[in-house]
């Protein structure tokens, strides 16, 4: 039975409990509606700091693999770069796009963009920002041999050139509604051309950090320990000059250790993309504060099978119908989630909102229907063929979600096997086909830019992350991406969304907030998921 948006308007969370039954294969108790999360009340901007806090000790969920902007499309890497390496445009905490290194831009025709750079901006080494630096940095994504993780965002760019000392001209193959979002995030990050080329293969490694223009300077990267940054006193934007003098980003990967360090004050803060097991302790701690912020992220089961039982949409649909999303939200995610009906989060409805709201109500609901799911499995003829779901080691959320999926599968006649991959190797599953060999699906958070269309770009024909080679909406994606009228594009996206969701190419499980934990000695970090692109530490200081 289709559900209305009641969950999206539910009462704010009253308590956070991790129920023990989530650890076994049984069906957890249904959550109390009074404990449901209300995303409409999520924070965006905690109060700014008032004084220099000295060194801010912040934790990343793991050590970055690289700080080369074309090879960063994950939480730790983006969290580090957001404070140091700026983009041509700026993704603001409220999900709007505004001026960044470009102070203004023109569009003489639908396929030409001219960006005018700010005068007087310098890199940390004192050298001026030039149009050549910008054109080179963005142009790297256009090289098919570069290995850019975000090339898909710039796939419609034909060329980018320095058309003047402080002017960059971009010519498009076709109009692209996502261009400004791309240039305000990873696709628009600018590094100094000369120092980047001089680094060669070492660019973005601890041996040669990027040379950028941002409010915090990258000073050092001590492998296995921390990345150290210091305030850029020559930063061009007075409104975002850092309040505190230093920022240290550590790599405590074990959740329990990180929670203890936050409780003791050894760490000042961390962004959690999934709730740690000790979240209730942090919320009730005398010296810690937990802020839930507006997010463009969700918790999904990513389909990765191009053959076998999980390549059958009816099998995927059956597992989705049997999955108790309310139980995952309450028992696994500790009431910090809302059962998801789509891959695009409601926070991404930055245009055409009434269209997306109506389309949301028409999507399949999240109520469990074992009888209908069992019938789909029986009709599919899948028999006892195994379905292998990969999960990340050392993650209680991964393990418990997998247990519930396995139990749901067993209830409808599916044989689901769980494959645990060490946290240090899990990132390979996203980019290496060999790492996905024998895997039919894997659990992951996934975040987008502030446009629902972006939540479905992985289903473009040649997208590197179209793991299951699902192409039923490929042509619709092309049409929607080329449509620059917001209302028309919203209608197109709503249509392709309905097809992708009913085919369950990826299974949407939960909408997630940002979970910001900070010591009460400090305040000032933003709490929306644009911390991945915006200098979130600039306003952090003492209370």
Share of the chain above pLDDT 70, in %: 92
Helix (H, G, I), strand (E, B) or coil at 464: coil
Query: Mean pLDDT for the chain?
Result: 92
Can you tell me the distance from the alpha carbon of 25 to that of 410, in angstroms, rounded to the nearest whole number? 10
Choice among 113-122, 124-133, 454-463, 480-489 with the minimum mean pLDDT: 454-463
Q: What is the pLDDT of residue 40?
A: 67
Chain-centroid distance of CA 20 in Å reads 29
Span 139-162, average pLDDT:
95
Can you tell me the distance from the alpha carbon of 473 to that of 117, in angstroms, rounded to the nearest whole number? 37
Can you tell me the distance from the alpha carbon of 258 to that of 262, in angstroms, rounded to the nearest whole number? 6
Query: Two tokens at 420?
Result: 């645990």
Q: What is the pLDDT of residue 73?
A: 86
Query: Two tokens at 509?
Result: 């499980």
CB-based contacts of 136, cutoff 8 Å, min separation 6: 193, 196
DSSP lists the bridge partners of residue 88 as none
61 — pLDDT class (breaks 50, 70, 90): very high
Helix (H, G, I), strand (E, B) or coil at 157: strand
Chain-centroid distance of CA 438 in Å reads 26
Can you tell me the distance from the alpha carbon of 303 to that of 388, in angstroms, rounded to the nearest whole number? 11
Among 216, 265, 191, 195, smallest CA distance to 82 is for: 216
Q: What is the pLDDT of residue 32?
A: 44
Span 505-518, average pLDDT:
97
Among 418, 439, 449, 448, smallest CA distance to 508 is for: 448
Taken in order of first residue, the domains within the chain and their CATH numbers are 5-41+295-514 (3.10.105.10)
Residues 4-38 have pLDDT tens digits of 222 322 222 222 222 222 233 333 334 444 456 66
Residues 277-313 have pLDDT tens digits of 889 999 999 999 999 999 999 999 999 999 999 999 9
Q: What is the pLDDT of residue 200?
A: 96
């Amino acid at each position: 039975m289709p559900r209305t948006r009641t969950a999206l308007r539910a009462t704010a969370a009253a308590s956070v409990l991790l129920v023990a039954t989530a650890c076994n294969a049984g069906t957890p108790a249904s959550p109390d509606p009074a404990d449901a999360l209300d995303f409409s009340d999520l924070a965006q901007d905690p109060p700014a700091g008032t004084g220099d806090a000295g060194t801010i000790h912040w934790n990343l969920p793991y050590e970055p693999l690289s700080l080369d902007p074309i090879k960063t499309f994950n939480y730790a890497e983006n969290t580090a770069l957001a404070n140091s390496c700026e983009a041509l445009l700026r993704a603001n905490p409220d999900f709007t796009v505004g001026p960044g290194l470009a102070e203004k831009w023109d569009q003489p025709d639908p396929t030409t963009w001219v960006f005018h750079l700010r005068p007087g901006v310098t890199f940390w080494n004192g050298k001026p920002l030039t149009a050549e630096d910008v054109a080179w940095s963005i142009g790297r994504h256009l090289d098919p041999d570069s290995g850019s993780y975000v090339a898909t965002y710039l796939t419609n760019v034909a060329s980018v050139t320095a058309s003047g000392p402080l002017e960059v001209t971009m010519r498009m193959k076709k109009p692209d509604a996502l261009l400004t979002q791309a240039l305000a995030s990873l696709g628009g990050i600018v590094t100094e051309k000369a120092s980047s080329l001089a680094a060669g293969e070492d660019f973005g490694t601890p041996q040669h950090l990027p040379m950028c223009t941002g409010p915090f300077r990258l000073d050092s990267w001590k492998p296995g320990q921390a990345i150290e940054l210091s305030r850029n006193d020559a930063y061009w934007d007075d409104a975002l000059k850092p309040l505190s003098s230093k920022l240290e980003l550590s790599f405590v990967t074990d959740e329990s250790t990180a929670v203890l360090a936050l409780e003791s004050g050894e760490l000042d803060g961390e962004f959690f993309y999934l709730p740690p097991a000790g979240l209730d302790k942090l919320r009730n701690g005398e010296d810690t504060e937990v802020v839930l912020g507006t997010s463009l992220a969700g918790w999904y089961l990513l389909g990765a099978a191009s053959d076998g039982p999980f390549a059958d949409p009816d099998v995927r649909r059956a597992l989705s119908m049997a999955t108790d999303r309310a139980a995952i939200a309450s028992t696994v995610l500790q009431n910090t989630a809302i059962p998801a009906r789509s891959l695009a989060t409601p926070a991404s409805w930055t245009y055409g909102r009434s269209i997306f709201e109506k389309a949301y109500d028409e999507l399949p609901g999240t109520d469990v229907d074992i009888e209908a799911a069992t019938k789909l499995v029986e009709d599919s003829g899948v028999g006892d063929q195994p379905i292998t779901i990969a999960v990340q080691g050392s993650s209680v959320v991964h393990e418990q979600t997998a247990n519930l999926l396995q139990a749901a599968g067993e209830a409808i006649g599916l044989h689901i096997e769980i494959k645990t991959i060490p946290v240090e190797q899990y990132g390979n599953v996203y980019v290496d086909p060999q790492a996905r060999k024998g895997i039919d699906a894997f659990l992951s958070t996934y975040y987008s830019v502030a446009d629902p269309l972006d939540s479905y770009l992985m289903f473009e024909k040649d997208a590197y992350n179209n793991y299951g080679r699902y192409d039923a909406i490929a042509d619709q994606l092309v049409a929607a991406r080329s449509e620059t009228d917001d209302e028309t594009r919203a209608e197109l996206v709503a249509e392709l969304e309905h097809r992708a969701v009913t085919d369950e190419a990826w299974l949407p499980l939960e909408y997630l907030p940002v979970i910001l934990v900070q010591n009460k000695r400090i305040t000032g970090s933003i709490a929306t998921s644009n911390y991945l692109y915006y200098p979130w530490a600039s306003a952090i200081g003492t209370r």
